[in-house]
A and B are shown apart, each in its own frame.
Chain A
Amino acid sequence: MTAVDPRRRPGAAHRAAADSEPLARTYVITQGRSGAGPRRRFDLVTLILAAAGAADRAVPGLMPEHRAILALCRRPLSVAEIAAHLRLPFSAAVVLVGDLVDAGLAAERRPARAAAVDPALLREVINGLQRL
């Protein structure tokens, strides 16, 4: 595997990690599990909602990152936003969110399927944009 040459384009869109610390942190948090893969469990915009009271309950076995996610998801929040707020790569956030959903501490609301070909939904999009 060839690593991308960090000299090629020092733009804002990507950056070479200055050191391995963030990756090490991610590895510890996810216990080596990777949410990356051909079939991801959550979409970037799957909405996550903490179960009632889950954010305030002392649930044993949760890591601080899990609790942070529950606190963020008192209202629905996309997995992409969760990852951004926690400063975690998306694939790592997927793992943690999956833990919470598996434990019944959070629920997922999946993105609208086949949205691009649903006229009713598209009209809703148009109306919403017109109201902006």
Chain B
Amino acid sequence: MASNGSEPPPALATTTASALKVAVVGPVGVGKTTLVTSVSEIKPLTTEEYMSSDADRAQARGVDKHSTTVAMDFGRISLSDRLVLYLFGTPGQERFWFLWDGLVTGALGAVVLVDVRRLAESFDVLERLEKRGVAFMVAVNRFPDAPVHPLPELRAALDLPGAVPIVYCDARDRDSCREVLLTLARYLLVLAEPEPEPEPEPEPEPEREAEPEAAV
């Protein structure tokens, strides 16, 4: 897809002090890598890991002919000169869940990317995230040939708690993907903010964009 082709990736600022990560989860073909590509400042990279038991076997015996690796495509967004955000696209099927332990631990949250024609494929993922206590939102990738359903119907079909944001997006469109990430970050801020604002300082109110957001 887009991205900078063969140009060397821009290095991070030397001052970059820490990194954040967000998981983009969904079934194969739902557009995870497309979304990552759309917002990443680097050409997406792929990190591989052995299927859970393979790493142990590798250690124990050296070589195993049946070793299988699973890949995660990921990209990067420099948020400031001290903060960088990484986005990891990861498959949602149960047999890849071992990957999640490394990915979801310490993650800001997750974007569950769904295709309205294959909603059921995301049920397990949602349950898994809920069980792990990972904050997530749902982004419905708007495929040109897919039917458009009202968000409240999708919310009901996915049995989402009222506070969980659900939005339509176009994984190919940078602004649309950026808006998804903003929706997640704003949702996290709401969750993180204690009821009575303890800080006396006036809080700069982030302007909200008119994205078809969580229809509540």
Which A residues form the contact surface with B (CB < 8 A)?
A: 1, 3-4, 6, 9, 11-17, 19-20, 22-24, 26-27, 32-34, 36, 40, 43-47, 49, 74-78, 80-81, 83-85, 89-91, 109-113, 115-119, 121-130, 132
Contacts and interface: CB of A to CB of B under 8 A. Distances in A.
Give the dominant DSSP class at A's interface: mixed
Contacts, number: 209
Interface residues of B, number: 73
A75 B12 contact: yes
Interface in B7-66: 11-14, 16-21, 28-29, 33, 39, 45-51, 53-59, 62-66
A90 to B, nearest CB: 5
B65 A20 contact: yes
B85 A77 contact: no
B168 interface: no
B152 interface: no
B188 interface: yes
Contacts of B4: none
A117 B192 contact: yes
15 contacts: A13-B70, A14-B68, A14-B70, A14-B91, A16-B66, A43-B105, A45-B86, A77-B11, A89-B55, A90-B49, A90-B102, A115-B20, A115-B108, A127-B206, A128-B83
Contact of B85 (A83, A118, A123, A125): A125
A112 to B, nearest CB: 4
Contact of A15 (B71, B83, B108): B71
A95 to B, nearest CB: 10
Given A13-B71, A109-B16, A129-B79, A116 B29 contact: no
B85 A80 contact: no
Given A13-B71, A124-B79, A84 B45 contact: yes
A128 B68 contact: no
B45 A132 contact: no
Contacts of B96: 13-14
B21 A3 contact: no
B68 A112 contact: no
A59 B64 CA distance: 33
Interface stretch (B116-124, B143-151, B153-161, B178-186): B178-186
Contacts of A6: 68
A18 B69 CA distance: 11
Contact of A125 (B64, B69, B79, B95): B79
A78 B79 CA distance: 15
B68 to A, nearest CB: 5
Given A84-B47, A111-B21, A125-B85, A4 B68 contact: yes
Contacts of B3: none
A90 B101 CA distance: 13
A1 B28 contact: no
A31 to B, nearest CB: 11
A86 to B, nearest CB: 10
Contact of A129 (B46, B57, B178): B178
Nearest to A72: B11
A125 B184 CA distance: 10
The winner among B53, B95, B182, B192 for most chain A CB atoms within 10 A is: B192
A33 B107 CA distance: 27
